[in-house]
A = this chain, B = another copy of it.
């Protein structure tokens, strides 16, 4: 790049030496000091010196323990909320003459000043990363401290705006990528653990693809990434995908199917901000354009809620009555035994496939499927395609779904219409094979 970029970091020194005197605050307690500094920051709004003060506040914040952070968030709630008098007046104005102008003034008055405070903190070097971390802290305590929800709402509101899809870039991640970024894939992978650098390298070989969304304010840190295997036919086993030997460096890869086998969000502080649907869409389009021969797009997905659902149901009277003794016994053995005992596996397989298909198609949370992964892909317009018996033999796979995996197929011709059918009527588009599986209870053992 022919232009040199001067980092904000470099600037701090300069600003600091010039401006130090201005920001010295007499308070002795950090908490009080933080409060004063935040008020000062709002006063400075629009001045170049906000950068230094924002930097100081974030430095001081970084020294807080969890209990102090809760105090800090409470202060943000109480001291940096909307001004009651101003809000009251704006309400009166609006009520006496409702219309776009008074509504706009009311919206202004209702916006908590802490939103502006967050915007000002963002001017500090690495301010965006610091705010994301601050929200991570907040989310960690939010369940126990629901009174902090208004603060979370305000940060989330800003992050939603800043991490707008229009500001993200899709980048391919491969073996040419700096080690500094690759290292983060290992740390962030949430679905199928990356077991060190050789495992990572295999996942980045020339029959694999990895893409992530990045935001300009976090150039070295992916927001989300997806891992794809280019294979022949619809993959039915995650172990085959992960452990197959990579092709030679110059070997032509002959594949007709792209298998999305892992998708991981990276930033807990961005929880609630959706990237996955955009990512799948865009990667699908990229692959269709760039990799000749790829004509099918599918996931190889976990069914994380299946086992928990089944065990709960079996504990009910209805569930208890639904299985024969032989079936209940095989099930009680647990899937770890099925792995080694082909006889047992074959015996229980038809029942498990039926139960799982039934779970995916008929168990609901409200009007939507009970399984969270199913909700995600069906909403995106995918089709429930195929169940894979013992597709995930890992401890986690057995624990969550008795080792079953499912393929959601993204058919570019029908994805928009599937999506519409889902969001309008919660219709689950499904292959006939899977529908049959769900419909017919196999003979009792």
A contacts, CB < 8 Å to B: 1-6, 8, 10-11, 13-15, 17-19, 21-22, 46-51, 77-78, 81-82, 84, 87, 91, 94-95, 98, 100-101, 103-104, 106-108, 110-112, 119, 122-124, 127-128, 147, 149-150, 153-154, 158, 160-162, 164-167, 169-173, 175-180, 182-183, 196-197, 201, 211, 216-217, 274, 277-278, 280-282, 284-286, 288-289, 379-380, 412-413, 415-417, 419-420, 423
Query: Which residues on B sit within 8 Å (CB–CB) of A179?
Result: 175-179, 182, 201
- Given the known inter-chain contacts A103-B81, A150-B101, please indicate yes or no for A18 contacting B412, CB distance below 8 A: yes
User: B47, A277: Cβ atoms under 8 Å?
Assistant: yes
User: A171, B4: Cβ atoms under 8 Å?
Assistant: yes
Among B2, B161, B182, B201, point to the contact of A162 (Cβ < 8 A). Answer: B161
Q: How far is B146's CA from A101's CA once the two chains are assembled, in angstroms?
A: 10
Q: How far is B182's CA from A104's CA once the two chains are assembled, in angstroms?
A: 40
Q: How far is B279's CA from A11's CA once the two chains are assembled, in angstroms?
A: 11
CB distance from A299 to the nearest CB of B (A): 15
Question: Which of A2, A94, A162, A177 has the most C-beta atoms of chain B within 10 angstroms of its own C-beta?
Answer: A2
- Given the known inter-chain contacts A124-B166, A179-B179, please indicate yes or no for A14 contacting B103, CB distance below 8 A: no
Q: Can you list 9 A-B contacts (CB < 8 A)?
A: A2-B176, A2-B178, A11-B285, A22-B416, A46-B274, A87-B106, A103-B110, A123-B164, A176-B178
Among B22, B160, B173, B415, point to the contact of A420 (Cβ < 8 A). Answer: B22
Among B22, B172, B180, point to the contact of A176 (Cβ < 8 A). Answer: B180
Total copies of this chain within the assembly: 4
Secondary structure at chain A's binding surface: helix, strand, loop or mixed? Answer: helix
Q: Which 7 A-B pairs have the closest CB atoms?
A: A14-B285, A216-B216, A48-B281, A107-B110, A122-B166, A3-B171, A19-B416
Among B107, B164, B201, point to the contact of A119 (Cβ < 8 A). Answer: B164
CB distance from A16 to the nearest CB of B (A): 10
Q: How far is B14's CA from A286's CA once the two chains are assembled, in angstroms?
A: 8
Among B15, B18, B119, point to the contact of A161 (Cβ < 8 A). Answer: B119
User: A82, B95: Cβ atoms under 8 Å?
Assistant: no
User: B101, A46: Cβ atoms under 8 Å?
Assistant: no
Please, which residue of chain B has its CB at the minimum distance from the CB of A22? B416
Query: Which residues on B sit within 8 Å (CB–CB) of A173?
Result: 3
